[in-house]
């Protein structure tokens, strides 16, 4: 009852005569605390307060999170006139200094004076005239700020599109849709929440719930990076039910995307005239024909050698190159929008390396059984040790807990186990033994209590991230984080020989290392031109990701050392597979392959690292990874010749996924990219 009265007071305060209000100090009218979750693991809290000064309300927010030891504090103030009309919104995020990185303080500010609006968002500044109906907002808006946006929308006749006052005219208006109601029992009381989706605030749709008092009860942000949830404390007991409702909503949204994006050819057709790069290692074939029957490759070769049955639909591809569909071997598939974005980049198989359990298995079923829009999805189930530095929802601190976690994933037909940094060595051994017994391989981070030699000895089959290889090449006891490994040392040679002997597959994620560590003085677009085609929320994130205090000389030296390490691994025969981690979705794989060519691979060898090599590593080479008769019709058509310029892979014209051909530009446009 007290909360309801406070809420009522908040809404009525604007109508109290100012002469009465002026007699009182600012009055707190609303207060709440949200639990913040990352991949279903609690990482902190968001606390908000609303005070009333008589002439306006002020929303104050403090969010404190700690993700794998990285602490962040975000503070925000939002000033509102009656009717929830914003006049000023300021947001600060502080990441404290650590032993290896300086502190970073970022801020954004919107100020509205009359009809004039000034916005600063990262490095972007803009002045504009305020539209009659508009709200202010930034990337990663706290739940309480979104609550005020929702109240504004509700009290301004639910506009079909709500302009946000952002620092770029490219920012699309927010689209808020009421999509249903959910009923829960909370502390013995039946509670009804209204469910909404919000588009264009971040990349991908959010799912948000409001109660009948117009308080945000919870929200799920799927595609803003890694999946995140916020739940108001009083609804914490409904957390699991909210997650299930959010996943169902995501699948409904995916079905809408699928219906709106139809293939231009399917099941039976022929692609003629393209340069054939089949990824087997054979020379390219000019003027080829690939015949597809019942979603499989029925014939392939030169146009003169392949008979096309009468009545077959012909797709002309003169001037293009046709390759096997690409494999993205390090994705964190964080929302349904990833599907069209990956397909638009020619990616027809993606390995998820740690996401939300129920979302992933539900999505995989939708992609496989219902032919919804997205690539084939392979799953690596995340397991970490417990404690303040852990990652994800599944932890194991004993061998028995490790076995239980493996069996949970195996029972849901995951392809691999992904181990993480806080696992104890004896727990890793039990996880690997059980995984191998259940027919799963083990990939992931080398736990921090061990090195790559020990991780391999304890059962790891694959290793994510080059750093776990190069760190193990350094002398024992070396703690300098930016000291390159001596590739000619006995320890480095011994490790490379072990990787070759045990057929350990390495997923270097060079592109993500480049993106996450490049100096702010180097424009992101000079490394990743795909950022210019990204929707504004993604472009903003990546254009501001550079480190302000990173020395350019040190950065280039580190990148050169990493390229040399990949070259040494590849030359020795270590299987290298391409993955982009949380780099720019779709385009990140292109950058990874460009870096492999810089490291000394031929363009064909780089292409194979994203086709046949991962297909072998994941035991799918019998039906994928090359263009050969009998294999799945997973193909990509690009303009130009990637054998002479690997960057031609960025010029995707069409993609074929399981026998369905889509136009790349149309796919990209469905999720805000403009290829």
3-state secondary structure 79-143: EEECCCEEEEEEEEEEECCCCCCCCEEEEEEEEEECCEEEEEECCEEEEEECCCCCEECCCCCCH
Alpha-carbon distance 671 to 503, whole Å?
Answer: 38
Q: What does 438-466 look like in DSSP terms, one character per residue? A: TT-EEEEPPPTTS-HHHHHHTT--EEEST
- In terms of pLDDT, which residue wins out, 390 or 23? 390
Radius of gyration of the chain (CA): 26
> How confident is the model over 525-541, as pLDDT tens digits?
999 999 999 999 999 99
**Residue of 464, 395, 382, 462 whose CA lies nearest to 424:** 395
Alpha-carbon distance 90 to 86, whole Å?
Answer: 11
Average pLDDT of span 360-383: 98
Q: Long-range contact list for 368-371, CB < 8 A, 24+ apart?
A: 370/255, 371/258, 371/658, 371/660
Low-confidence winner among 18-22, 308-312, 377-381, 512-516 (lowest mean pLDDT): 18-22
Q: What percent of the chain has pLDDT over 90?
A: 88
Alpha-carbon distance 493 to 260, whole Å?
Answer: 54
Alpha-carbon distance 403 to 415, whole Å?
Answer: 16
Whether residue 33 is predicted with pLDDT greater than 80 in this model: the reply is yes
Q: Which two tokens stand for residue 324?
A: 């096997």
> How confident is the model over 45-85, as pLDDT tens digits?
999 999 998 889 999 999 999 999 899 999 999 999 999 99
> How confident is the model over 266-309, as pLDDT tens digits?
999 999 999 999 999 999 999 999 999 999 999 999 999 999 99
Q: State pTM to two decimals.
A: 0.94
Alpha-carbon distance 257 to 671, whole Å?
Answer: 9
> How confident is the model over 571-610, as pLDDT tens digits?
999 999 999 999 999 999 999 999 999 999 999 999 999 9
Residue 549 pLDDT: 84
Alpha-carbon distance 298 to 290, whole Å?
Answer: 8
Alpha-carbon distance 553 to 41, whole Å?
Answer: 38
Alpha-carbon distance 47 to 63, whole Å?
Answer: 6
Average pLDDT of span 388-409: 97
> How confident is the model over 123-178, as pLDDT tens digits?
899 999 999 999 999 878 999 999 999 999 999 999 999 999 999 999 999 999 99
Residue 159 pLDDT: 97
Collapsed DSSP state (helix, strand, coil) of residue 67: strand
Per the DSSP assignment, residues forming a β-bridge with 60 are 49, 77
Residue 337 pLDDT: 96
Determine the Cα angle at 326 with ends 467 and 224, to 5°. Answer: 65
Map 466-488 to HEC letters: CHHHHHHHCCCCCCCCCCCCCCC
Q: Which two tokens stand for residue 338?
A: 């990833």
Average pLDDT of span 211-231: 91
**Residue of 395, 459, 394 whose CA lies nearest to 433:** 459
Q: What does 619-645 look like in DSSP terms, one character per residue? A: T-TTTSSS--TTSB--EEEEES-TTT-
Per the DSSP assignment, residues forming a β-bridge with 314 are 270
Alpha-carbon distance 656 to 586, whole Å?
Answer: 15
Contact 502/573 with Cβ under 8 angstroms? Answer: no
**Residue of 198, 197, 225, 328 whose CA lies nearest to 538:** 225
Residue 103 pLDDT: 67
Q: Region of 355 please: left (phi>0), alpha (psi -120 to 50) or beta.
A: beta
Q: What are the b/e assignments for 127-149, b being 16+ CB within 10 Å? A: ebebeeebbbbbbbbbbbbbbbb
Contact 128/165 with Cβ under 8 angstroms? Answer: yes
Whether residue 106 is predicted with pLDDT greater than 50 in this model: the reply is yes
**Angle formed by the axes of helices 357-369 and 239-260, nearest 10°:** 30
Alpha-carbon distance 657 to 314, whole Å?
Answer: 17
Average pLDDT of span 223-237: 90
Average pLDDT, the chain: 93
Whether residue 407 is predicted with pLDDT greater than 60 in this model: the reply is yes
Domains, the chain:
2-260 (no CATH), 313-670 (3.20.20.140)
Residue 481 pLDDT: 63
Phi/psi at 47 (nearest 5 deg)? -115, 135
pLDDT-derived band at 480 (thresholds 50, 70, 90) equals: low
Q: Please, which residues have CB within 8 angstroms of residue 402's CB and are 6 or more apart in sequence? A: 383, 396, 423, 427, 428, 430, 431, 434
Whether residue 225 is predicted with pLDDT greater than 90 in this model: the reply is no
Alpha-carbon distance 653 to 501, whole Å?
Answer: 40
C-alpha 253, offset from chain centre? 18
Determine the Cα angle at 364 with ends 358 and 365, to 5°. Answer: 95
Residue 9 pLDDT: 38
CA dihedral (548, 550, 555, 556) positive or negative: positive
Residue 675 pLDDT: 82
- Cα diameter, the chain: 91
Alpha-carbon distance 65 to 62, whole Å?
Answer: 10
Residue 101 pLDDT: 62
**Residue of 484, 486, 487, 558 whose CA lies nearest to 517:** 558
C-alpha 332, offset from chain centre? 5
Whether residue 414 is predicted with pLDDT greater than 50 in this model: the reply is yes
Contact 508/570 with Cβ under 8 angstroms? Answer: no
DSSP 12: H
Residue 479 pLDDT: 61
Q: Please, which residues have CB within 8 angstroms of residue 490's CB and are 6 or more apart in sequence? A: none
Collapsed DSSP state (helix, strand, coil) of residue 168: coil
Alpha-carbon distance 29 to 81, whole Å?
Answer: 15
Contact 318/333 with Cβ under 8 angstroms? Answer: no
C-alpha 567, offset from chain centre? 28
- In terms of pLDDT, which residue wins out, 206 or 17? 206
């Amino acid at each position: 009852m007290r909360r309801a009265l406070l809420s009522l007071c908040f809404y009525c305060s604007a109508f109290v005569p100012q002469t009465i209000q002026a007699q009182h100090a600012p009055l707190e009218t609303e207060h709440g605390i949200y639990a913040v979750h990352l991949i279903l693991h609690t990482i902190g809290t968001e606390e908000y307060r609303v005070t009333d000064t008589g002439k306006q309300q002020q929303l104050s927010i403090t969010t404190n999170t700690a993700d794998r030891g990285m602490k962040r504090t975000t503070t925000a103030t939002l000033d509102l006139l009656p009717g929830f009309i914003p006049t000023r919104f300021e947001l600060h995020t502080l990441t404290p200094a650590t032993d290896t990185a300086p502190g970073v303080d970022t801020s954004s500010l919107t100020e509205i004076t009359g009809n004039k609006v000034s916005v600063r968002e990262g490095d972007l500044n803009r002045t504009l005239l305020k539209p009659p109906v508009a709200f202010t907002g930034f990337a990663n808006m706290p739940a309480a700020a979104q609550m005020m946006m929702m109240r504004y929308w509700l009290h301004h006749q639910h506009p079909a599109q709500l302009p946000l006052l952002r620092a770029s005219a490219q920012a699309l208006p927010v689209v808020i849709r009421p999509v249903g109601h959910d009923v829960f029992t909370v502390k013995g009381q039946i509670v009804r929440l209204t469910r909404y989706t919000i588009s264009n605030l971040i990349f991908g749709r959010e799912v948000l719930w409001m109660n009948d008092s117009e308080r945000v009860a919870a929200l799920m942000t799927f595609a803003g990076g890694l999946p995140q949830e916020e739940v108001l404390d009083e609804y914490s007991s409904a957390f699991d039910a909210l997650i299930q409702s959010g996943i169902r909503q995501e699948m409904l949204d995916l079905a809408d995307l699928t219906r709106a994006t139809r293939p231009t050819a399917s099941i039976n057709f022929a692609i003629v005239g393209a340069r054939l790069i089949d990824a087997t290692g054979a020379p390219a074939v000019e003027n080829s024909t690939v015949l597809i029957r019942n979603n499989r490759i029925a014939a392939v070769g030169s146009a003169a050698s392949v008979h096309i049955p009468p009545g077959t639909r012909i797709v002309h591809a003169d001037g293009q190159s046709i390759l096997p569909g690409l494999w993205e071997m390090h994705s964190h598939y964080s929302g349904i929008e990833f599907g069209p974005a990956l397909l638009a980049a020619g990616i027809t198989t993606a390995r998820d390396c740690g996401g939300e359990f129920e979302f992933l298995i539900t999505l995989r079923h939708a992609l496989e059984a219902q032919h919804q829009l997205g690539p084939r999805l392979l799953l690596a189930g995340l397991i970490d040790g417990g404690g303040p530095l852990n990652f994800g929802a599944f932890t194991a601190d004993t061998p028995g807990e490790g076995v239980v976690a493996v069996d949970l994933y195996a029972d849901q037909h995951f392809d691999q186990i992904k181990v993480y940094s806080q696992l104890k060595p004896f727990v890793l051994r039990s996880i690997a033994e059980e995984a191998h017994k259940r027919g799963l391989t083990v990939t992931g981070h080398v736990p921090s209590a061990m090195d790559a030699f020990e991780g391999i000895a304890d059962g790891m089959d694959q290793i994510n991230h080059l750093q776990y290889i190069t760190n193990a090449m350094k002398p024992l006891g070396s703690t300098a984080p930016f000291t390159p490994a001596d590739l000619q040392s006995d320890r480095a040679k011994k490790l490379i020989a072990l990787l070759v002997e045990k057929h350990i597959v390495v997923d270097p994620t060079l592109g993500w290392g480049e993106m996450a560590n490049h100096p702010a003085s180097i424009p992101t677009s000079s490394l990743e031109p795909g950022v210019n085609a990204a929707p504004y929320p993604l472009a903003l994130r990546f254009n501001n990701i550079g480190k302000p205090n990173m020395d350019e000389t040190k950065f280039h030296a580190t990148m050169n050392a990493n390229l040399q390490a990949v070259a040494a691994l590849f030359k020795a025969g270590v299987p290298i597979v391409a993955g982009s981690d949380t780099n720019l979705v779709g385009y990140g794989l292109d950058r990874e392959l460009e870096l492999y060519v810089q490291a000394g691979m031929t363009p064909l060898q780089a292409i194979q690292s994203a086709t046949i090599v991962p297909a072998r590593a994941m035991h799918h080479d019998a039906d994928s990874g090359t263009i050969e008769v009998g294999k799945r019709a997973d193909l990509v058509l690009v303009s130009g010749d990637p054998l002479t310029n690997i960057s031609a892979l960025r010029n995707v014209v069409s993609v074929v996924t399981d026998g369905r051909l889509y136009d790349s530009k149309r796919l990209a446009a469905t999720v805000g990219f403009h290829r």
